[in-house]
Structures are given as structure tokens and as C-alpha cells.
Structure 1
Amino acid sequence: MLPADLPYYWSGLPFRPYQVGRKLNWLLARGEIRQLISGVYVDPRVPDTPELRAQALQLVVPPGATVCGQAAAWLHGIDTTALGQDLFRPQWTFTERPSTEVLGVKVTTREASAIELARQLPRPFALSAIDALLHSGMSLTALRNAAVTYFAEHSDSQAAQILRLADARAASPGESWLRLRLFDAGFPRPELQVNVKGDNRTYRLDLGYPDNPIDGRRLGLEYDSDQWHSSAKQQLKDETRRTELDALGWHIIPVRRPDLWGRYPALELAVGSFLCQEPRLPRRW
């Protein structure tokens, strides 16, 4: 936190718009504050921590209410990218829900929060949110046990399908969305975090089919985020790595964000061509 004698919006604490009045837009334009969640702002130099998230929610959630939905998942440590939007309006309820306390904030339990998201969010973000919760340490067994009070084990509801697909090994929302694309297209369920041993190192692939060689070659898929795979240096490194994997008998399909969103099925056609399988089309999302 910053010294307390500075202006309070530089103190490191989140604040509401009325606390800066007409300065709000000016401060935003100068980059001297950032919006944390809908209706709450903070100094951009303050790191994103569980404590900061709890303080932000305490500013907007009425006393005695239980934080739920996306705000609950956010407080439990999920990045907003996995929830489908950078900013969201916090939700809370006064009805009885399975709840716990996190840093002084009453919030639905991790399992209850996960089930709510699986039922309410669009399918891609429902899966990425559940994967992220599992990746952060939530037990899939505990989640499935909690789900029995919401729907039957063999239900065809969205939430039941999402829980059957969920996997703690997914390391990013993009990997979750890619896996859902493969499922929707009718392809076999891929393995996650596939290790490929080379002569001098071990490579790790986001997704792959190590047990289904086609003409002696195996298929791997990697999600290349804009953040880590956009520069010329990063792209050259990726190409070198994939040339090395090709020599080890792996055909790699790199996937970028535009490949996952929209109606054009280039990804499904590329995967289907290698696996000699007709994809199920059109795309569902």
C-alpha cells in the first residue's frame, strides 16, 4: 500500500465514484485509476490480491447479504477472463445459500459458486470458470457431490454437461474453450498437458491425442494467447519448437483466439482432416 498522506484515491484502497466526483473521467483518461469491478475503482499500481477483491465487494454489498454468481467466483480467485468479461456488476442475495466467509465477506461456497456459474454463464465461459476453480484447488468429487442437490447425475442440462467436461489440468480459459470446440465437433476427448520427450528436453502440449496415431503421427493442439505469442521473437520460438515436435512425430495445430470465436469452422476442418473424421457442424457458439 502507498503512504496514507497521499490523496485517498492513491492510498491503495478501492473507492466509489462519488468519492472523486467530477474527477472520475479525468483520472481514468490519465490512467491514474482503473475500474476494478462495476462501480469500484482503485489505483492501477495496486496489485490484484484476495484482500483487494474483498475490500472492493465490501464497498457495494449490503450488510448481511451473501455474494454470489461471478462476484463469488472472482472472490474465490478466478480471473475475470474465465468469466467472460473484464468488468461485471456484483451480485448478492439475502436468501439462504451454502456460504462461507472469505476475508470478512459472506460468499457462496466454492462448490455452490461453481454450480451457479455452470448453470448461468454461456457454455464456453461456464467451462472455463469451472476449470479455473478446479485448477485453483477445488475438488471435482466435492463439486459433483454438491451438484446432486441441483440436478441428476445423468442430466442433459448445461450444468451437468459442463461438470462432465470439467478438468483441473486446463491451465487457461483458451484451453478450456478449445476443448469445448473439439467436444462440440464430435471429436474424441483429448488428453490435457501432454508430455512429449525429446532428445534434450520434454515438451508440454496443451491438448493432444497421444494414443491415436494417424499414419504414425500424433496430433497436438496449442492455444497461443495474444499476450505470450504475438511478438516476432515469440513467434520464431514457437515455429522452432513446432519444427522440433514435427521431427518427433507430432503434427501441431496452433490455435489463436479468432479461431475459437465466430462461425467459420477452420479449426474443426483442420482437426477433422488429420483425424480422418467429419466434424459435427455448424458451430454452436
Structure 2
Amino acid sequence: MFQYDLPYYFAGLPFTSRQVPRKLAWLLARGEIRQVMRGVYVDVRVPDSPELRADALRLVVPQDAVVCGQAAAWLHGIETTALSPEPTIKPQWTFQPRPTVEALGLKVLTPAATAIELARHLHRPFALSAVDALLHTGKATLDELTTASAAYFAEDSTSQAADILRYADRRAASPGESSLRLRLIDAGFGVPEVQIPVSGPNGTYRMDVGYPKRAVDGRRLGLEYDSDLWHSGRRAEGRDEKRRGELELLGWHVISVRRTDVWGSYPALELAVGGFLCQHPRLPRRW
């Protein structure tokens, strides 16, 4: 019998650590189960899905409660833990009156209200990437978020959540791009344009973010977030170098940005952008 001909643990349904207290560490060490969310596990052969997430939440959320916070974002399909491959979602719920929708048999905070709560409580870069991601799915519009925000803060608020909504953009293609955009804003360079089309002889390129209206010596500044997953290795690096060379010929100065440039205290990114734009960045870095 092959390993994966064996029956699924708990018939493939999620289960809590209390159901296998003595065998939990052993099963995890053997790689036969994985954590779905904090305290809830499933057979590794079961793929992630909205139904699995709902079943996991049902194990721990009281029947009359409203799923909220990061757990609501998770159920809506919005990831808020961009830097960690491990599931760190905690089951969160409330009995307080909230605007809700039904999702797979659970009462869940509406996408718009979820975005507002994330904008209020998450660390700034995670807050922006989560709101960007929710807008990108089309489950809520910026107008809906603005309307929902009236219940939390005034239109002219200077709170973090109000800032996040001002900067949110549904065109952001990844959490890394969202964090990069926030770095540029916090450094005082202004809000960059997003997903900028650049026409060339071989087709149209798409620049992640940039300042096309602030040309210096006839060149415009573009920045591209190169993730470790898609931009590592000799072949990927060669492809990226060729692309940057073609964009240079089209009048663009392209700065390649990696995860270590966005996260950390060293201001190399801000200094590089400021050096091109002839502008002193606002330092020290805020996050």
C-alpha cells in the first residue's frame, strides 16, 4: 500500500489539538498533518479552500458569534501574513452588533467593515497590503470602504486607518508592491503611480510603481518589486536584466527592489530614489 493510499486523518475534516493531544507532535513531525489556523489541523493531502477555512472556524467560533478581524479577512480570501509561510491566523469573533454577511454558513463581518478593522489594527504595511488585496478581489470598492469608515472615524481624520484608505489601490498586484508603495509615501516622495503601462517596439511593459511625471534629464523613474519566489535564479535574473535594459532604452531609470530593501532599518531604497529625484527623503524609516 502506498503512503497516500492510507485513509485521511479524520476523513479529511479539520480537527483541534484537543482531539489528538498525545499524537499531535508526532503527526506534525511525520509531516502527515498541517496547521490550518492556530489550534486547528488537517491532513496534509487536503488542499486549502474556502470550505476548509469555514469548517476550521466552525470548530472554534460560537454559533451566534460574528467572525471578525484577520479571521474574517482569511475567510474572505485575503491573506494578511505576507512575511510568514506558517499559518498564524487566530480565530477571532465578536457578539457586538456589526455589519455582517453570511459566508458558507458563518456570520462574517462584511468585506468593507473587515477592511476598515484591518486598516485600524494591523501594522501599517500589512494594513495597506490587506486593503489593497481586498479591493483587488472586487469584493468591496473604495467607495464602499469610504462609506463604511464613517462609523469609525471622521472624513478628515489623521488616523492610520484614514491614511491607509487614502493610499489604497486595487491595482496593486502583490503585498510586496503595496509595502514598496508605502515606503515611498512615508519617505515623502508622494504617492507613486501604480501598474504604469510602457509602450515599446516589442509590446507593452507594466511598471509596478513609478513617477512618470517627474522626469530627470529626460528619464522617468520606475521601481519593480522582485519577489524571492519569481525573481531568483540565473534564468529569472537574466530575464529581469534584459527587461530593465529595454526599459532604459525607452527612457526609464528602473530600480529593482527586493524584500530586504523594503523591510529593515537601512535606508538604501529611500536614498536611491531620493538621489534620482534630487530630493532628500524623510528619515529615519518609520517601519
Deviation at 1:19, TM superposition (A): 2.7
User: What CA distance in whole angstroms lies between the structure 1 residues aligned with 2:83 and 2:69?
Assistant: 10
**Shift of the alpha carbon at 1:88?**
2.2
Question: Is 1:63 aligned to 2:63, yes or no?
Answer: yes
Query: How far 1:10 sits from its partner (Å)?
Result: 6.4
Alpha-carbon contact 1:14-1:41 (below 8 Å) kept: yes
CA–CA distance in structure 1, aligned partners of residues 209 and 11 of structure 2 = 44
Residues 9 and 43 of structure 2 are in contact (CA less than 8 Å); yes or no, is this contact kept in structure 1? yes
Partner of 2:155: 153
1: CA distance between counterparts of 2:54 and 2:80?
15
**Which structure 2 residues correspond to residues 177-192 of structure 1 after superposition, within 5 A?**
177-192=179-194
Q: By how many angstroms is 1:242 displaced?
A: 0.8
Shift of 1:32: 1.6
What amino acid is aligned across from residue 89 of structure 2 in structure 1? F
Corresponding residue for 1:274? 276
Spell out the pairing of 1:18-57 with structure 2 (5 A cutoff). Answer: 18-57=18-57
Offset, 1:110: 0.7
Partner of 2:145: 143
Question: Cα offset for 1:272?
Answer: 0.4
Deviation at 1:26, TM superposition (A): 1.9
Identity of aligned residues (%): 69
- Residue pairs, 1:182-221, within 5 angstroms: 182-221=184-223
Q: Equivalents in 2 of 1:86, 1:268: separation in Å?
A: 32
For structure 2, the residue ranges without an aligned partner over 5 or more in a row are none
Partner of 2:167: 165
Structure 1 residue 15 and structure 2 residue 15: aligned?
yes
In the superposition, the TM-score normalised over structure 1's length comes to 0.94
- Residues 129-155 of structure 1 show CA distances to partners (whole Å, capped at 9, x for unaligned) of 111111111111011001111111110
Amino acid at match of 1:96: P
Q: What letter corresponds to residue 49 of structure 1 in structure 2?
A: S
Q: 2:255 aligns with which of 212, 230, 253?
A: 253
Q: Deviations over 1:192-233 (max 9, x none)?
A: 111111111211111011222111111111111111111221
RMSD across aligned positions (CA): 1.6
Cα deviation, residue 45, structure 1:
2.9
Match of 1:77 in 2: 77
CA distance in 2, matches of 1:86, 1:257: 20
What's 2:286 paired with? 284
Q: Is the 8 A contact 2:8 2:43 kept in 1?
A: no
- CA deviations on 1:230-275 (whole Å, 9 max, x unpaired) are 1221111111111111111111111111111111100000000011
TM-score using structure 2 length = 0.93
